[in-house]
Amino acid sequence: MSKCLFITWDGPQVSYLEGLFLPIFEGLAEHGHEFYILQFTWAEPERVAAADAFCRAAGVKYRAVRIRRWLGPIGPLVTAIRGAKHIRKAVRDWQIDTLMPRSLMPALATLAMRDVKGLRVIFDADGFSADEKVDFDGLSPRGLSYRILRDIEAQITRISDTVLTRTQAAIPILQARAGAGTDPSKYFVVTNGRSITPFHTSHNNLDVSRDPVICYVGSIGAKYCPETMLAVACAVRERLPNLEFKVFTGDGGNMERAIAKSSISDPSWITIDRVNPQDLQAHLAGCDVALSFLKPAFSTRGVIPTKLGDYLLAGLPIIGSEGVGNTQPLIDAGVFFASDGNNLDDIANWVSEIVMKDRPRLRDACRSIGEAQFSVPESVTRYLMAMRS
């Protein structure tokens, strides 16, 4: 049993707190683990108020700390170091006994406390964020910023009682970076669980007579391969002329720019929309196949896209990048078509001849796998194993 402070660092676009972590925390509360949230963010006040409302509805106490964004990386660095006082205050006010920093900047705030005596520390590594900046944001692997981030990662891994990862492949890397003497038994793989109930409600509304729909959920940036997504959608539309492409994102401007750079002359069949997390399942229920591309890189060894769970629980077979997360069981089950964007004819054939002609069976298969691997109960089980260690 514990009173756990979840410490996170987010921009204004993300909504995973509401859609991903709160349902897991509610599940853990049933086993005696009470969660509190301290969120460092530069989101606008209305976005912070919305997050607070979601937390209150889930019975979770929430505080936000404004991230200072002046002088490049200096502002965030100062915010993280000064964040130690906000953690101390939360520990004092809420009688916290466990800290759970998610990723590196919250880890720095935790390290800045200097003395965590009497507190258990569970580090949610959540991939390799320093290496992700090298792979996708142009950060030099020999520069000072990267060295600082790597040192934060090594230090928090060493002092933590438990380390959470999303893939088995991340564990030996984190162990090696932490150095000799770190306990190999403190590493645990957890899953990105999603609530099953809304998907069950949406699942009953399968309409096989409507026009086919391909979809994408999530951020739009170079690492998510928007050009490849558009190429795939166009190839499928050549086989299925009534195809619609629905993009659910808070980065609509980035997708609009990708469309403008493409050869698509009439993009009226492509819609871009930002939806509330609680409404996402209903929107996905009106689609037939989903996209999940990510440029292959070292940092992707540590991540499993959250959208995989969303898609499968909604009954959607997936076209995407192989090896980002444990995709092989999905490929073996026939619900994941691996692609690097160069097999467009094969993709179009798979969608038109297999997916669309066997939607009810494929939808049931996707949901079955989704419930087994990406449901909140499965995540709660994994977290409990880690927290009881």
Tokens of 135: 């792979």
pLDDT, tens digit, 9 for 90 and up, residues 290-329? 999 999 899 998 988 889 999 999 999 999 998 787 788 9
In angstroms, the CA 223 to CA 234 distance is 20
- Look-up of token digits 């049993």: 1
Distances (CA, A) of 225 to 43, 106, 122, 387: 26, 29, 33, 36
pLDDT, tens digit, 9 for 90 and up, residues 184-236? 999 999 998 887 765 555 445 556 568 999 999 998 988 999 999 999 999 99
Cβ proximity of 369 and 333 under 8 Å: yes
Distances (CA, A) of 388 to 2, 101, 113, 383: 10, 18, 25, 9
In angstroms, the CA 285 to CA 206 distance is 7
Q: End-to-end CA distance of the chain: give it in Å, rounded.
A: 12
pLDDT, tens digit, 9 for 90 and up, residues 69-125? 888 788 999 999 999 999 999 999 999 999 999 999 999 999 999 888 899 999 999
Instruction: Give pLDDT, residue 224.
Output: 94
pLDDT class of 36 with cuts at 50, 70, 90: very high
In angstroms, the CA 327 to CA 304 distance is 9
Residue 333: pLDDT over 90: yes
pLDDT, tens digit, 9 for 90 and up, residues 135-184? 999 999 999 999 999 999 999 999 999 999 999 999 999 999 999 888 99
- Domains annotated for the chain, with CATH where assigned, are 2-194+376-387 (3.40.50.2000), 197-374 (3.40.50.2000)
In angstroms, the CA 204 to CA 248 distance is 21
Cβ proximity of 376 and 196 under 8 Å: yes
pTM: 0.88
Q: Mind giving me the DSSP string for 300-353?
A: GGG---HHHHHHHHTT--EEE-TTSSS-HHHHHTTSEEE--SS-HHHHHHHIII
pLDDT, tens digit, 9 for 90 and up, residues 341-376? 899 999 999 999 999 999 999 999 999 999 988 889
Cβ proximity of 326 and 346 under 8 Å: no
Residue 15: pLDDT over 80: no
Please compute Rg for the chain using Cα positions.
21
In 152-224, at which residue ranges do the beta strands (DSSP E only) sit? 162-165, 187-189, 213-217
Residue 240: pLDDT over 70: yes
Instruction: Give pLDDT, residue 6.
Output: 98
